[in-house]
Structures are given as C-alpha cells and as structure tokens.
Structure 1
C-alpha cells in the first residue's frame, strides 16, 4: 500500500481514543502491519537500530471474522522492528488490559467493540495498561506508520501465553466473591454474551463462584447471528429480559462484543441504569477506601454525584471516553470511575475498565443481601431519564449550535459536547467519537418534565434547515 492511500485510510480510522472502521475495506492487513511497526517504535518495544535488544508487545483479538488476520498482521509489523509478540489469542479487552498491566507490556487489542460485524478496530495501551488516545500517542503512531518503519536485521519472535486463568483469578479476588465466601443465597444468573467475547470470559469467571448460570449466545461468532453485541440498544436486551423472567433468575448480565461493558437486568427483567450501577460500586469502593475520589462522566445521573458525596468521597466530572477517563484517574488518583455507557474503571485493575469486575460487584452486593436486586438499587435510581437517544444529522456542529442558542438563558458548559442545566433538569448533547451520530441524554426531577425537555430538544435536532 502506498503512503497516500495509507494516510487516507488512517485519517478515517483514527478516532479520539482508538482505531475503528470497516474491515477489510478500511482496516486491512497492510494497515495493521504498518500500525504494528509504528506502535512498537512509539512504545519503545522496538529494537535499538544501534544494536540494543527489543522488548515485547502483548496482542489479543476478538471473534470478528477479520480479527485473526489483523492480529497476525500486527504481529508481523511488531516483530519486523525486532520486538517480540506475546499473543494471548482470543480475549476480551479487559483481559488485554490485565495482561498489559500484569506483565508490564504495551498492548494492542483487535476489536470494534459493539460496532456492526463489518467493522474492526484496535485499542492500544502502553505498558501497565496506560491509555493511548489521539493526543497521547495515537496520532504519532499514525504519522509514523505513514512515514514507514524500516525493518531491523533480526525479527522478533511470537509466543503464545494464557491470560484467561490468571485474569479470572484476579477479578474474583478483587471483589472477594470466590467460592467459599460468606453469602446469604445462591444466585441464578443469566448471561447474554451476544456471541461476543463474554462467551469466553463469563463461563471462566463465574465457574469460580457458587452461582447457577444460564447462558444465552455464548458461542463465539463475529457475524452476530442472534442480535448485535450492543447492549446500549434496548432492542438487544429483549432476549435477556425474557430469559430472566422465564428462568425466575435473580439477575441478568449483558456484555458487548469485546466484553469490556456490562449491562444489568434485575429479577423483574428491567434494566438497571448504568448510573445506578456506577453509584452502587462507588459506594462499595468508598467503604473500602474512605474519602477517595470517584469519577463520573457528563451523562451519568445526578444521583451518582449525590451518592459519592453521601459516601464521603470526592466526585470529579469527566468527558466520555476510556482513554480520557483513564488519564484523569491517573491524575486524580481516583479509586473508581463510571460511565453511563456501561464502562467501569478500577484503580486496582490498572486504572482500566472491566465489565466483568462491575458484574462481580453487583453479584457481591446481591449475595450480601436478602433483598432482590430491584430493591437493592432503588436508592441509586432517583431521577427519570430519557436514556441515550441517537440522531443522524448532516451537520452535528450546526445542530448543536442551534440547540445552544435556544437555551441561551440556561447554564451551559462544553466539557464534552453541550450540557445545559436548569434547577430541575439537565441534558447533554454530544457527537459520537466512533459513529456518525448525535447523542442526547435528558434527566429531570419528574417524568413529565423529562419528557417535555426531551421532546423539545429532539424537535430542535430534527428541525429542517431553511432553504
């Protein structure tokens, strides 16, 4: 592939905090090979041209159709610089972060997370699972890939290493839920893996607990034959909700494609708001670590901030995005961070996000109580919300400006997109970093106000431009 074509491809693929796009149309083996070599140089894993020995890079991949070829091409690019590759094979993204943190190696995860089956992508981190985003190395890697990296005289080696066993042990130990622990009851848990990587990690982790597991779509299949691996869309939770009710289960867990996000369904088959999960985990972590800082992003419920303060912690509001939040966790020393999109970050897990750790916190809270999950989380679900509403628009900046002008008399901030706040409601309008969408979240003190604000903003968003 020539430099111009590679530059054009990367201009499309490089997002704020990962690489993502159609595969193989945009992300193919040539792009992966160039990025692999550039990544090895950027992270210091490449051998010194003067003759110094190289380091190593850990590589994992999900179950998407093109993922094995992309991972192999990455390895070719990395080893061409004299660096070694430690391949963990099929993995969830939080497994890759665990391996990077535990082995102190930079890492690349091949995944497009919850995107459609025709997409693929790369999530990158430095040694210790430290994040790489556009402004913290990703742009430099893209520039270096386009410029080209000359191969060294001696290529590195590729070795395979199991990370799943140690990962499963670590996450259960962190929450203290392994078999033999004190519990009030044995839970019945339904897991919907959506044919994604949850089908690999959930059975391995939950086998360490005294729980009864019923699996949905655990078979790894990157074509997603049953439903898309995006639990943020309510349509993709329908099967899990029905199974929870039919099985008389205590809880349902839904994972996205790379299993770094987890959504929770209570015993009634009702979705537990990710903000409520964030508040619950924040309260649990602050009991262990009194007075610490907890992060929450711009679209989490006001209840999250309230619970953090009530629990004696210090809340810090952040933009959306995993590399941004990890950097802020490192800066503030936060013990935990939560996003309304179902990402949960833990200081004790290399500051990385883990859907499985969040799920284990929910299970631990349940086994320590006689109450059903709906009652346990009731104290954390305080305000009616719209959920995330996505709109496709021709000009996101123009639409956002129109909405801002309409609410010019209200408090506004631009920490991430547009947040407008009144005494009894707030909304956030922001552009997706991975899809051509404008995302709206609304919350209010009561349902009537929430619906009124939601409908008014949506009308502004979809207002036709004057000819």
Structure 2
C-alpha cells in the first residue's frame, strides 16, 4: 500500500502567467486554453481547417459539457468541411466513447472539444490523425497550418449526425455480460458513481445497471460549470463527497470520473482514496496472470509498486514519459497488454486505447472473482512512502542545464532514467526532477521504503539545485512535516 506524504500537489511560488497569444494554446499533447481570451470560435475554425488539411478521409467530432463547447464545436466542424472532410458529429460524448466511435465508423480522424480535467473557463481540442495520438511534430504542423492560411486544403465536405452512445453501451455490456451472474452469486455489488457533472453524467450508471450493479450516483446532471467539485478526479481533495457516500452506504466501491470521462479514480470499501499506482498494480497482477511475459507500460512518476508487480508476475516493465499521448503510443508500438498513468488513465491492449468505464468494469470483475474487498487487496501490495508532485517555481533560463548536470553527476554511481527529466535510483528509493514544458518551474517527486528515506533522498539532490529551490524543498520536506502527514493518513 502506498503512503502519501501529502494528499495533493504541492506548489511553491506563484503559477506562471497565462500565454497572451493564441499560439500558446498548442501544448505537447493537445490544444488547450482559456475561453475566449486564448481560444475562441475564430481560432477553432482555423484549427478545423488545419486538421482537415492533414486528413485524407473522414473525422468523428464530439464535445464535452462545457458552456463554450457548442460554439467551438460548430466552428471546428465548419473548418473541417471547408477542406472537404466528411464529418460525423456524435454530439456530447465521453472521450473513450469517441475513440470507440472512430473505430466503429472506420474514420481516419477524431476531435473532441474538451479541456479534460481543467477548470470550466478552459476548453480545447483532443485529436487523432490516425491510429495513434499526435506527435509533438504533428501538433507543431497543425499550429503552423492554423496560422498560415496559404497551406490550407480546400474542398466541400459534409456533416452527418449519429448516435454512438447506444452502440457503445451494447458493446461494453456484452463484453462484461458475465458480471451479472457473478453479482447474483455474491448477492449484491454496490457502487457509488461520482460523474462530477461531466460527460459520464446519467450514462455510466445506466450502463452499470445493465449488468446488475447496484448504483447510487452523485453529481450526475451534466453541467460544464462543474458546480459540485473540480473536474480533476485525480486529486483526493476533490473527492470528499464520494468518499463519504461510500462509507455512509457501505458500498463496495466508489468511482469518480474527470470532466471528459477518460480518467477515473477509485475509493475502496472503507471510504479511502486509492492511488492510481495501486490500481495499476492490481490490473498488472490480474492481466499478467493470464498473459505471462506480457509487456506493461507505465509512466515514470509511478511508484515502485508498479514495476515490482510486473517483475513478480513475470512481465516486462516499460517505463515511459508521463502523458496520455506517450503511454498510448508506446502501448501500441510495443503491442503491450496494459498501460497505466498516475493521472488515472488506464490503457488496455485488447482495445489499443484507454477507457475509464472499461477500467471500472474490469476492477469490479477482479473483486468479484477474487471474492475480496478492495481494501483487502491493497494490503497485499508493498508499502512505500511517496510524495505527490512538488512544483517549485524557478525563472532561471538554466533549468534544462541543471537537470543535465544532475544526471551527469549521479549516473556514474547510480541507475539513472532520462526519458522525462531525471529519475535517480538509490539503494532505498528514488528521486525525480522534471522541467515543466508549460511553466517556469521544476517538478519533484521522491519515494523511499521508509519515511526518513524521503527526506534523505531529497537532501542528496539539494546541493545540485539553485539555493532558493533547495530551501523550498527543505521547507516542504522537513522531518516533522513528513512524520505529521504520514501519521495523519
């Protein structure tokens, strides 16, 4: 079981100011910004033209429940059809359902108008130009085409409307139809679903009831203002309501989705938040038991319980950069059987993609077949002490150089991973330092087999950091702070 030294991301210093130019909405993995200051219908039209220029056939389009989504979606579709693209509009749909639609309809592209787990004032576009997520280079190409109209392809496309929710429901209930008999043998399986007023609202619970799951739902009315909690389901601080409902109703499981429904977090039967690293480990042990020697992709920020579980089950652990795009692309490229990210994305080899509701059903199946509670299964996992992300602002232009020098210093004595920042593996744990690609700051994470080790590992890195950064780490990770936080778990 993982023991966190704090329950949320720690931020030291003010966040970086927003990008003033609309070009700043083009991120590493998608397009995202504040509406309408950074992202407006005119820019959506141009982005639609740019994406349409890169496509050679059809594109499925959907949107989330944010107030700004309809206008952005309409403009995006106009841009797409101006390039000759055939557009299938599936309306409001969770992101995993859109991926399903792309496969079912056999179209080349997909665009979801969403800002995922960001606050309601944000919006954006997740998109695919083929079978894998866009690369950094492809996003840069879309950016260039967006602001250079002379390169835009011209044509006369059409838009069709299609309901994809029913076909998805039929597919996933057929895939997990055996849950009904398993639940009948148990007597009842009670789940609390917190849709967070996002894309799964009213839909996830309906599907679950089809396979005999006893569902009690909260925040199940679609509302893109997210009045009840943040759309970020990965942070425990946002899940107080679902935790309380699990305890109050003596439920077997709590489920919380993010805004666009591709991330999911879980609450055990004791009303306790379960870190994604632990869920990944449980999936790893289950899937590898029937696929010995299989490849597992996990992000570099994951706890050691993930590679430990892979090794124990005889699988091959493949570490990758943090980020949906990187994990999914690696899963497909390596033909891996499973992939996981601590943000709550779970990727399945049989799907070649992530699907939050699929993850829910599979976890329920594991609990039913093992005839154990989630709280009991967690106790069988190794214990590590791990920090959340520690984000420390540093405006110096030498951030990348500092990380490279730290890597050079330690790699002669310790194993070092450099796929995403620098992760140094010591005898009793590891330390990770990354440079933010969107803000002037460092991100740190530390893990050890004991609480004293967390501070000890941090102290080994501090002499190689700018003085103000090191001092802030010490302020956060002094012995008393760690001890108090751990004892309060």
Q: Spell out the pairing of 1:117-132 with structure 2 (5 A cutoff).
A: 117-128=120-131, 130-132=132-134
Q: CA deviation at 1:239?
A: 1.5
Q: Spell out the pairing of 1:37-56 with structure 2 (5 A cutoff).
A: 37-45=49-57, 56=58
Q: Are the structure 2 counterparts of residues 461 and 174 from structure 1 closer, same or farther at C-alpha, using a change threshold of 3 Å?
A: farther
Q: Structure 2: how far apart are the matches of 1:191 and 1:454?
A: 38
Q: CA deviation at 1:394?
A: 3.2
Q: Structure 1: how far apart are the matches of 2:177 and 2:459?
A: 44
Q: Structure 2: how far apart are the matches of 1:246 and 1:312?
A: 40
Q: Deviations over 1:221-255 (max 9, x none)?
A: 11111111112222101111111111111111111
- Any unmatched runs of 5+ in structure 2? 1-18, 473-489
Partner of 2:486: none
Structure of greater relative contact order (alpha carbons < 8 Å, 6+ residues apart): 2
Tell me the SS of whatever aligns to 1:210: coil
Q: Deviations over 1:236-289 (max 9, x none)?
A: 011111111111111111111111111111111111121111111122222332
Q: 1:21 aligns with which of 16, 33, 57?
A: 33
Q: Structure 2: how far apart are the matches of 1:460 and 1:205?
A: 52
Give the length in aligned residue pairs.
Answer: 445
Tell me the SS of whatever aligns to 1:120: strand
Q: CA deviation at 1:169?
A: 3.1
TM-score for the superposition, normalised by structure 1: 0.87
Q: Structure 2: how far apart are the matches of 1:314 and 1:32?
A: 42
Aligned Cα root-mean-square deviation (Å): 2.8
Residues 403 and 457, structure 1, Cα contact 8 Å, conserved in 2: no
Partner of 2:268: 266
Partner of 2:249: 247
- Any unmatched runs of 5+ in structure 1? 1-6, 46-55
Residues 177 and 360, structure 1, Cα contact 8 Å, conserved in 2: no
Q: Deviations over 1:3-30 (max 9, x none)?
A: xxxx984530111110111111111111
Q: Spell out the pairing of 1:187-202 with structure 2 (5 A cutoff).
A: 187-202=189-204
Q: Structure 2: how far apart are the matches of 1:371 and 1:191?
A: 20
Q: Structure 2: how far apart are the matches of 1:83 and 1:462?
A: 53
Q: Structure 1: how far apart are the matches of 2:63 and 2:457?
A: 42
Q: Are the structure 2 counterparts of residues 265 and 138 from structure 1 closer, same or farther at C-alpha, using a change threshold of 3 Å?
A: same
Q: Spell out the pairing of 1:326-337 with structure 2 (5 A cutoff).
A: 326-337=328-339
Q: Spell out the pairing of 1:26-105 with structure 2 (5 A cutoff).
A: 26-45=38-57, 56-105=58-107
Q: Spell out the pairing of 1:335-414 with structure 2 (5 A cutoff).
A: 335-349=337-351, 351-395=352-396, 398=399, 401=402, 405=406, 408-409=409-410, 411=414, 412-414=416-418
Q: Are the structure 2 counterparts of residues 14 and 80 from structure 1 closer, same or farther at C-alpha, using a change threshold of 3 Å?
A: same
Q: 1:257 aligns with which of 253, 256, 259?
A: 259
Residues 337 and 345, structure 1, Cα contact 8 Å, conserved in 2: yes
Q: Structure 1: how far apart are the matches of 2:429 and 2:252?
A: 33
Further displaced range: 367-376 or 83-92: 367-376
TM-score for the superposition, normalised by structure 2: 0.84
Tell whether 2:111 aligns with 1:108.
Answer: yes
Q: Structure 1: how far apart are the matches of 2:435 and 2:361?
A: 31
Further displaced range: 270-279 or 447-456: 447-456
